[in-house]
Amino acid sequence: MLDTTTDDQVTGFLDRFGAALESGDTEAATKMFQDDCYWRDLVSFTWNIKTLEGQKQIRDMLSEQLGKIKPCNWKIAEGEVATEDGGIITAWITFETGVARGYGLIRLKDGKIWTLLTTMSELKGHEEPLGYERPLGAKHGAGKGRLTWAEEIEKERAEMGYKTQPYTVIIGGGQGGIALGARLRQLGVPTIIVEKNERPGDSWRKRYKSLCLHDPVWYDHLPYLPFPPNWPVFAPKDKIGDWLEMYTKIMELNYWTRSTVEHAEYDEKSKEWVITVDRDGEKVTLKPKQLVFATGMSGKANMPKLPGMEKFKGDQHHSSQHPGPDAYKGKKAVVVGSNNSSHDICAALWEAGVDVTMVQRSTTHIVRSEPLMEIGLGDLYSERAVEAGMTTQKADLIFASLPYKILHEFQIPVYDKIKEVDADFYAGLEKAGFQLDWGADGSGLFMKYLRRGSGYYIDVGASQLIIDGKIKLAHGQVTEIVEDGLILDDGTKLQADLIVYATGYGSMNGWVADLIDQETADKVGKVWGLGSDTPKDPGPWEGEQRNMWKPTQVEALWMHGGNLHQSRHYSQFLSLQLKARMEGIDTPVYGLQESHHLGR
């Protein structure tokens, strides 16, 4: 018997799998999966972002969707070769549906599918004008009265929202709104981004002055325009702000600054939103078909209400409003909270000559930046990954191809290794009295972020200040604010001229309650979290980020955001969903998630 190559094995498998799907043989297709299997679909089959776990869920989805989706043409992606490691065969694949082209990653074990990632890459007939299809730009020939490029842009901006209506309105012009706006622009979806600040990028510029990205540059590129090769590994906030402002100009976005949404409601009869906007003092009514909240997964500040707050004679504010340390030199500061913002603010205050105490209310996961970059991200997002041929798109898809149900199993060894490498560092923190954790199951930073979006600090220097006693530590809950400080639940009094509440952020559906109404917010339900039933991520299990980048229970209302990586990656799939609806393409949504955890 002749040995077949790994490519031959995958090609033969894809031929059989494709034939079963094209013939509508749901049972045969389902049996080509392992018993313990996962199919993660980003829009292509489900018009949703959905992970199917086990054969039953896959069978149910195929029974519902197969006749509508009409998949075909399964192949190993052009220029790629299948690989085998430890009994797992992995291959990049392409496929088509009736209306779209797809790209994915398949893992075969013992001749059957273990994990399958399918993603929609473009809609047939509505491809982005890239590469050979890029616009000419220059207008060769002659024509009387024709407009220049600048005049066309000026005319569009003058008329959009007045003479013509956008198809989509995005509330929030931070990285999420900007990335999605760029995708929609390339797809020809008329869009207005509404931003309260004076300039694009101000959501970064206006934060505390020591703020910088804790994620490395390779993880943070925006769509179409990666950072240049001399961009710093960890970009300071003002540099990011300038990049975002430049990006909005280059991408020709309709970006309304100094604008706030006062109210929005959905007109069931006309199937459009009626949105009242204060645009720099002018009242404007927008009537888009689709409304996207890109208000920031960390945008709705949790400001505590504590007895005696009105008595405090010093300054007190949420960390999102912290101006920086300059005004507090020689004074006493207390920062309530012990996650990223708290550490950054405490370090900056100490550097400015402030006597600063951090109040740790619960355990915190800490990982130093260097081992996180090398051990946690290095294979996908690093200079060595780039040198090995890793692209941003491939890295994003490899990360996306690991189902959330088992992702923690891959993360636990990473953090076990970090714990070993940095044993002296963690011993120093514990000796200083800092209360550490490694996540509910030892899976570390990424799972904490995905499950709850809080509870961690990527160390870029503040931890050593805690170890050295330069940032003081206190523990417990704040029970009362007094004229000159605060009281903890064990009776300890901390004197303060400044109190910073680094107390985190609420669910994005709080913005829905503010701008639409509470009933709509409750219909959406909790935004973010997987339903893992770990702290601050209550069940039931969803298996995807709740309500993010996909249809919600409220018609034509969408949630978008996350870190720069998620804003880049998932904006592709949200933009395709919006484009399909604009073009009247049938979008049969499978497995629309239920609403859970109402209120704010």
**570, HSE (Cβ side, Cα atoms, 13 Å):** 26
SS3 527: coil
Number of other CB atoms surrounding residue 523 within 10 Å = 18
215, 273: one domain: yes
Give the Cα separation of 271 and 555 in Å (integer): 9
482, 355: one domain: yes
Cα-based distances in Å from 289 to 266, 501, 521: 9, 39, 19
Could you tell me which of 300, 192, 348, 326 has the C-alpha nearest to residue 256? 192
Q: Which of 439, 468, 501 is the last residue of a domain?
A: 501
Q: Is residue 255 pLDDT above 60, yes or no?
A: yes
Residue 597 lies in a domain: no
Cα-based distances in Å from 107 to 53, 457, 588: 15, 34, 27
Q: Are 453 and 537 in contact (CB under 8 A)?
A: no
CA torsion through residues 567, 573, 575, 578, sign: negative
342, 438: one domain: yes
171, 282: one domain: yes
Split at pLDDT 50, 70, 90, the class of 213 is confident
Burial of 35 (0-12, 13-18, 19+ CB in 10 A): exposed
Q: Encoding tokens for residue 402? A: 């690991």
42, 190: one domain: no
pLDDT computed for residue 165 by the predictor: 98
CA torsion through residues 346, 352, 354, 355, sign: positive
Tell me which residue range forms the domain holding 566: 150-300+508-522+551-583
199, 331: one domain: no
Residue 318 lies in a domain: yes
517, 429: one domain: no
Q: What is the mean pLDDT of residues 187-201?
A: 97
Give residue-wise pLDDT tens across range 482-526: 999 999 999 999 999 999 999 988 878 889 999 999 999 999 999
Is the entire prediction scored with pTM above 0.85?
Answer: yes
Give residue-wise pLDDT tens across range 1-35: 335 699 999 999 999 999 999 999 999 999 999 99
Split at pLDDT 50, 70, 90, the class of 134 is confident
Let me know the angle formed at the C-alpha of 201 by 199 and 202, rounded to the nearest 5 degrees.
65
Q: Are 216 and 209 in contact (CB under 8 A)?
A: no
Give residue-wise pLDDT tens across range 260-319: 999 999 999 999 999 999 999 999 999 999 999 998 766 678 899 999 999 999 999 999
478, 557: one domain: no
- Per the listing, tokens 């504010």 go with 317
395, 497: one domain: yes
Split at pLDDT 50, 70, 90, the class of 532 is very high
Residue 143 lies in a domain: no
Number of other CB atoms surrounding residue 468 within 10 Å = 11
| 256: Cβ contacts below 8 Å, ≥ 6 apart | 161, 192, 193, 194, 195, 277, 279
Q: What is the DSSP string of 577-589?
A: HHHHHHTT-----
161, 110: one domain: no
Residue 136 lies in a domain: no
Cβ density class 489-516: b for 16+ within 10 Å, e for less: eeeeebebbbbbbbbbbbbbbbbbbebb
- Per the listing, tokens 């003479």 go with 163
pLDDT computed for residue 529 by the predictor: 93
182, 105: one domain: no
Residue 492 lies in a domain: yes
Give residue-wise pLDDT tens across range 445-496: 999 999 998 999 999 889 999 999 999 999 999 999 999 999 999 999 999 9
Residue 142 lies in a domain: no
- Residues in the chain, overall count: 600
Residue 592 lies in a domain: no
Question: Could you give the number of structural domains in the chain?
Answer: 3
Q: Are 545 and 528 in contact (CB under 8 A)?
A: yes
55, 190: one domain: no
Which CATH number belongs to the domain containing residue 99 in this structure? 3.10.450.50
Residue 145 lies in a domain: no
Q: Specify the DSSP class assigned to residue 212.
A: B
Which CATH number belongs to the domain containing residue 565 in this structure? 3.50.50.60
